[in-house]
A and B are shown apart, each in its own frame.
Chain A
Amino acid sequence: MPTLSRSTIHSDFDSNVAAGLELGPEVDLWRARFTAMACPCEVLIDTSDKSVASNAANAVSMEAWRIERKFSRYLNDNIIYKINTAAGQAIKVDEETERLLDFAACLYQTSDGLFDITSGVLRKVWHFDGSDQLPDSASVRDVLKLVGWHRVQWQAPYLRMPAGMEIDFGGIGKEYAVDCAAQLASVASAVPLLINFGGDIVATGPRTKDRAWKVAIESTAQDQPTPMVELKRGGVTTSGDARRFLLKDGVRYGHILDPRNGWPVRDAPRSVTVLEVNCTQAGVLSTLAILQGRGAEKFLRKHKVTHWVSR
């Protein structure tokens, strides 16, 4: 599927994040910072008790690192590596991978093929470095032969894929990790949390005295005020192409690729922010909205999604 970068969403804190887990007191809550999945991660814990905060932060970071380790496509000893190097052999997957693959299959189906976890190989021909180096049509056509969930035989728990094809949970993994970490931390303690993995956010419940968490959406338009989202429970994600693009003959090619033709989606908004019941759901809808290109706003209105669009 198209690899999307998230614009930074921040909750009035800076994004200068140290490696490892760092816990510090704030005015009336604790903040933990760490790096996972190649992005700054933060947890706000609404408690004055440091040990409670520390336990919650540990649970969240451990889960983020676990999911990264298990599903990163950059490692060569996990299930994704095993699947992508199976060379046409059937691979038996574990229960969690099975659920993710089922979800991916559902996404492919409900999005009419727009959301496709096999589209990552398109990166081989598209390099979004701000230059004017567009790939030629023939090479796009060639690599498209290795794209398409319909070419995959998925009969849980067995997955068989033609050699050369790759799957990549990049489009849902971070959101999934946010939701899993939120669940895990909620089981450990009832303390309300705001979890932010590089702009994919979830709130597990309202702060004390039923106050909402305030989340700022970084607007790509310079002259527009920063929208604030008041969130008590649920997920917020932003999809967009704010920084990664190619520019040729005055046409800006965003890095959002349509897996059906292998070319960038035309007239996609700079960013789409979605508020939903969970982070995974929000991430899918913000991505699908971007993939609609010019029709993003119409799509969001039609499905009654709470959203903010920046063009």
Chain B
Amino acid sequence: MQLTRKQRRRLRKTLLASSCALLGVMPSAMADKGDWTFDTSALFYSEVGGILVLEPMILAKQDRGDDSYLTLNIVGDVLTGPTPTGGMPSSKSQTVTGPSGKKTTAIAPGQTPVNKYFKDTRGAVKATWSQPLGDLWRLDWGGGVSLEDDFKSLAANALLARSFNEQNTTLSGGLSYEYDSINPIGGVPQPLSVVPAAGGTSPVAHSRSKNIKGVLIGVTQVMNQNWLVQMNFSYGASSGYLNNYYKQVSVIASQATAQTALGDPLYQIYENRPSTRSQRTIYLRNKVYLDGNVLDISYRYGWDTWGIRSNTLGLRYRWALSDHFFLEPQLRYYRQSAAYFYRRGLLNSEPLPAFVSADYRLDAFTGRTIGLEFGTHVSKGSWWPAGTLTLRLEHYTQTGGSDPQVNIGVQQNFSLFPGLSANIVQVDYSFGF
């Protein structure tokens, strides 16, 4: 009777499962002190004609004994490809100058202005410590650092949970704080000022900052052995520099002149957003176990002081084809209204508003995601540990948007709200030692 190396290593766990079966009790979370589990993944996000994102991630969790865990999360991001500046198409050629003022992109007549040389890399590390406080309480606290070419972020959070009703009910409350410093290449442009045609800016500062304070209140309720309900309310208050310094707004001709056709952009200005925003979200999730399969239905309603109201409906069904293989179809429907200061563009005849942005993410739109996830257990190989391999494929489409005020003259010939479609592929391998 020879045991495999893994079985030998797992001796204590095997014995525990076995002694608990003997005593007719559930195995308690055994202090397998020092054991690490890993979740590694790579995500590819590719917009049709747009940006490409590559995001590798490692999540490592260590059992520190006594039901305490240390979790480390390391994420990298590389983002490249053309991104819309927010500007409107023109009947003439346009030139988009990058923030550095060096690289320019020529935009053909009728095309949406994009910055072809947009590139950003991000690295983030997050650590969370989770421990029980007595039999009924649990505390999670942690912090993180995120670095980008033009952005630094520090965050801290704490979450306290208490279980009631023989652990069938868990109430949790959390606080979070994030401090971000934004250091645009070429400096912070003056909001609402005209973007210089030759590129470069006359910066008003080297950097700006913002902070985000968050509160979370949640309840998780075990309804019966096959049904779990989760409800969350979250509040987030951002204040400081909330602009995206890359984003511009076109000012178009409200009357035809000898040089300019009706509707053609005359110049662009830098966007300006209010310096505070508070967001509230209600989240409701149902997880139902149906004969080995899992149905997951979630709904989120969000509203904020910028006037964006959003509804998200999510549906997932994990279908266990065998002990070792599952399929999970996923559907997501998202719809939001526009921020009150969103404009596709401005007319040169109208007074300059205090706040304006042409960022399509602040516009009204509908997003639809259809996805499929496959998962399979993988046996130990010559150089890889046993684990679970999952592959997720998603297709996302975004449509919507309107701004009748600027849909004049030549603009009527152009596609002002092209929408977007993207494909997402994620490969994930989770394993333990």
Q: Which residues of A contact B (CB under 8 A)?
A: 99-100, 102-103, 106-110, 112-113, 150, 176, 179-180, 183, 210, 277-278, 280-281, 284-285, 302-305
Contact = CB atoms under 8 A, between A and B. Distances in A.
Nearest to B27: A277
Contact of B7 (A110, A302, A304): A110
Interface string B4-36: 000101011011101111111100101011100
Contact of B22 (A112, A280, A305): A280
B25 to A, nearest CB: 7
Contact of A103 (B9, B22, B25): B22
B23 A285 contact: no
DSSP majority for the A interface? helix
A303 B8 CA distance: 9
Contacts of A304: 12, 32-34
Given A112-B2, A150-B1, A278-B19, A183 B12 contact: no
B3 interface: yes
A176 B30 contact: no
Contacts of A103: 18-19, 21-22
Contacts of B3: 109-110, 112
A102 B22 CA distance: 8
Interface residues on B, range: 20 to 34
Contacts of A302: 9
DSSP majority for the B interface? helix
Interface in B10-66: 11-12, 14-16, 18-25, 28, 30, 32-34
Given A277-B28, A284-B15, A285-B15, 7 more contacts: A110-B3, A110-B11, A183-B23, A277-B16, A278-B23, A284-B19, A304-B34
A224 B367 CA distance: 72
Given A303-B11, A304-B34, A183 B25 contact: yes
A273 to B, nearest CB: 16
B196 to A, nearest CB: 65
A277 B17 CA distance: 11
A277 B30 contact: yes
Contact of B12 (A99, A100, A150, A285): A285
Contact of B23 (A180, A303, A305): A180
B19 A280 contact: yes
A107 B1 contact: no
B22 A110 contact: no
A113 B2 CA distance: 9
B15 A113 contact: no
A305 B12 contact: yes
Contacts of A112: 1-3
A144 B1 CA distance: 17
9 contacts: A103-B22, A110-B14, A179-B23, A278-B23, A278-B25, A280-B23, A281-B16, A281-B19, A284-B15
Nearest to A175: B19
A278 B22 CA distance: 11
Nearest to A106: B18
Contacts of A278: 19-20, 23, 25
